[in-house]
Structure 1
């Protein structure tokens, strides 16, 4: 695990974007695992800017998103499908049909989970971009005594719904359920980029990266992966203990 701490948000965004774009540039059929929320917005902007500047095509790229709300249509203003289109997809030359999210309106949620897993099995992720929730969730894999390895429908914790309420007009509009890629699928990615920003994430970052590995903190399971790059701003990384035998902290 490599941990990099940045003094400026723009530097973090550009670094993450360059990691992603390098995979796009070097792989014949790159498969990207993508995330939503406030954390990746600047990264996606930097991806677009670098791709435009270097004339990098995304025509050969396939993408899979971590999650989608149950009950929201793809064109709903708070669906993750709409988020991805607004922040990334419409700005790149992605091939038609090459972007994938769970169908929030699927009539048979269990069948939709199986369909998504079958696609992931056929196209393993070269990289998975992740944020981390205040309770340690990754994707919508919430803390629990046991976790699902595969795509599933999860009932969102109240603290997660409250954290996401800022994106909706009213808190009660936040869906109670969501599709999420399972932890097992996330850990199969060849590379994982974990991003955290702000002092309110400092405690969970320390717990996830330097605490015990436990399903009660799903992000801690990333400690078992062989190729994780953690990108933090100065505040999110303030509680970490530098330990050269396990971590490499690089201050920008």
Structure 2
């Protein structure tokens, strides 16, 4: 485990963007999984900035997204798919056929999950980007999620809905379910980049990185990954 602590959120965003950019420079055909949420907005901005500044070639890269809300289309501005495209992917020279996202509108969600897992079988992930919820969730893998699950549908906790309320106007407007890459699949990634910002994440970061490995804190399983990089601002790292 490699832990990097930055003084500010902006410094964290830049450090994380350098990790992603370095991955693409070293391996142009990298497979990278992107995560939505508040934590990664700055990262996405800095990736685009470095792309424009350095002319990094993303044409061979393949992008996956970590999760999606059930019932939201890729055209819905509140969907994970739309936000990641709008924040980062649409501003890079990545080919549209190289972008893969879970189908939250699928009539048969179990089949959609299976198909997404099979697609990931064909394209092993080189770098998985993750945020962490205050309850320890990664993706939509909520507390209590079994570690052995692959891509699946998960009911979202009220605490998660409260965290996502800013995107939807209120917690009541947040979809009740999410389609998410499972912990088993996350752990199959060659490298993992975990980001956390702010004092509200300090307690869960300490538990996840140094506490008991338990499904009640899904992110705790990341302790077992051989190539985990954690980038924190000083507020998120204050009780480590």
TM-score for the superposition, normalised by structure 1: 0.93
Matched, 1:46 2:49: no
Unpaired stretches in structure 2, ≥5 consecutive residues: none
User: 3-state SS of the aligned residue for 1:97?
Assistant: helix
CA drift of 1:28 comes to 4.0
Aligned to 2:232: 232
Listed as ranges, the matches of 1:1-252 within 5 Å are 1-144=1-144, 146-240=146-240
Cα distance, 1:160–1:55 mapped onto 2, change above 3 Å: same
The answer to which structure has the higher helix fraction is 2
Conservation of the 8 A alpha-carbon contact between 1:69 and 1:175: yes
Q: Once structures 1 and 2 are overlaid, which stretch shifts more, 92-101 or 179-188?
A: 92-101
| Number of matched pairs | 240
Give the number of the structure whose alpha-carbon radius of gyration is greater: 1
Unpaired stretches in structure 1, ≥5 consecutive residues: 241-252
Mapped to 2, the partners of 1:186 and 1:150 lie a distance apart of 9
Mapped to 2, the partners of 1:129 and 1:145 lie a distance apart of 19
CA drift of 1:145 comes to 6.4
Mapped to 2, the partners of 1:170 and 1:229 lie a distance apart of 33
Conservation of the 8 A alpha-carbon contact between 2:193 and 2:229: yes
TM-score for the superposition, normalised by structure 2: 0.97
Mapped to 1, the partners of 2:9 and 2:136 lie a distance apart of 22
Mapped to 2, the partners of 1:175 and 1:119 lie a distance apart of 25
Aligned to 1:249: none
Mapped to 2, the partners of 1:148 and 1:187 lie a distance apart of 10
Mapped to 1, the partners of 2:110 and 2:40 lie a distance apart of 28
Q: Once structures 1 and 2 are overlaid, which stretch shifts more, 138-147 or 187-196?
A: 138-147
CA drift of 1:15 comes to 1.1
CA drift of 1:102 comes to 0.5
Aligned to 1:247: none
Conservation of the 8 A alpha-carbon contact between 1:141 and 1:147: no
Q: Once structures 1 and 2 are overlaid, which stretch shifts more, 163-172 or 35-44?
A: 163-172
Mapped to 2, the partners of 1:145 and 1:99 lie a distance apart of 27
CA drift of 1:36 comes to 0.4
CA drift of 1:173 comes to 1.6
